[in-house]
Amino acid sequence: MDKLIIEGGKLLDGAITVSGAKNSSLPILAATLLTDSQCIVHGVPGVMDIRTMLKIIGALGIASQFERGSIVTNPASQDTCVAPYELVSTMRASICVLGPLLAKRGFAKVSLPGGCVIGPRPINLHLKGLAMMGAEIEIEGGYVIARAKQLKGRHVYLGGPFGSSVLATANIMMAATMAKGTTVIENAACEPEVVDLANFLNKMGAKIRGIKTHVIEVEGVKALAGAEHTIIPDRIETGTYLIAGILAAKDLTLKNIEVNHIRAILDILKEAGVSVKMHNGEISVRRVRRLRPSDVTTLPYPGFPTDMQAQMMALLCCADGISVITERVYPERFMHVSELNRMGAQIKLEGSSAIIRGKKKLSGAPVMASDLRASAALVLGGLVADGATEISRIYHLDRGYERLDEKLSGVGARIRREKA
């Protein structure tokens, strides 16, 4: 198992190219189960979750080649409809094969998913939507077993206790592409990753309307063709490196970005006294010596993303005053707080809110990553801490960030990977 060692206090200077969005790539790869033809997907990040998804669709009969950020898929067999526990248990997005399998093959046996430990994330909305479309579903031995000779278009409401669900929207949308009739998904998620999936499905011949809205209409078709598509830039990776620049950059430029996808992040940074320069698909940022405190509430898109909460907390630990972060999507997503406090941060939890008393410096310390975004927050803290920070369990980081240590080293960070 690897760990990262970071020597804090080194200025970042140069350019980082943001990778394609992991959270777009995963459901798009699942969508290749819907066709008997070849698909080509460009801009795919080389992270562990992608390799896991390729193993899952490979177990379901989809052959693939992954080279230089592009994946070519070719259907080889439809003999198996079982997504096994040993793969699905490591990654929540693997539940996205459920809808395509039901739509194309009429049967699916998918292990209940795993992923980061960030609080309860039930799949009841996925099952509710598919059941409304005519699927017979049971849970047995840790697997979802679903059958449907022909899914039928229905009005499906995807309201959950914390808002719309990205993965449930993706699953129902993919299932509806080959259902009989028209499916209307109400309270649909409208995150950029959902839009990216819808655009890919339409390239395959699907008939999806209402993209970018909370009401999506899908008119079912008999068959889908192959398609070629380029993944959107990763907005969470963009935000992570933006914060790295604010904390530690002499002059950092981010390439391959989509500004419209990070408006909520930029708005909070503006409140904190940060100014960024944007030009021709690039953002430039410098270190900010005096950050203003801020109040942040995570919400579904277009609100501030929960996947940026931990990284923003690392930033506000260095602000000049008291900040409050309230988590409205996953109220228990605060496992990184204790580790940041080990580095000298002053953070107190009150229910679903974290109260952060900013200070001038953090201190290097041995810390442990609890999940993907918490890992990134600890890296950000380590960049500005006095002394060395040692981060263990970085396999979480490798699930969602492509070569993060190499990208940061390339712009001047003192960061190295070692065997634990």
Catalytic residue set = 116
Is the separation of the CB atoms in 397 and 376 below 8 Å?
Answer: yes
Q: Phi first, then psi: give them for residue 25, nearest 5 degrees.
A: -60, -40
Select from 178, 80, 183, 165 the least CA-distant residue to 123: 165
Q: How would you classify residue 320: left for phi > 0, otherwise alpha for psi between -120 and 50, otherwise beta?
A: beta
Nearest CA to 24 out of 42, 8, 39 is that of 42
Element of type H or E holding 372: helix 372-384
Sign, Cα dihedral of 147, 151, 156, 162: positive
Contact 307, 354 (CB under 8 A): no
H/E segment holding residue 70: strand 70-75
User: Could you tell me which of 232, 261, 265, 306 has the C-alpha nearest to residue 276?
Assistant: 265
Torsion sign (Cα): 171, 46, 415, 408: negative
Cα separation, 232 vs 22, whole angstroms: 9
Question: Around Cβ 304, how many Cβ atoms within 10 Å?
Answer: 24
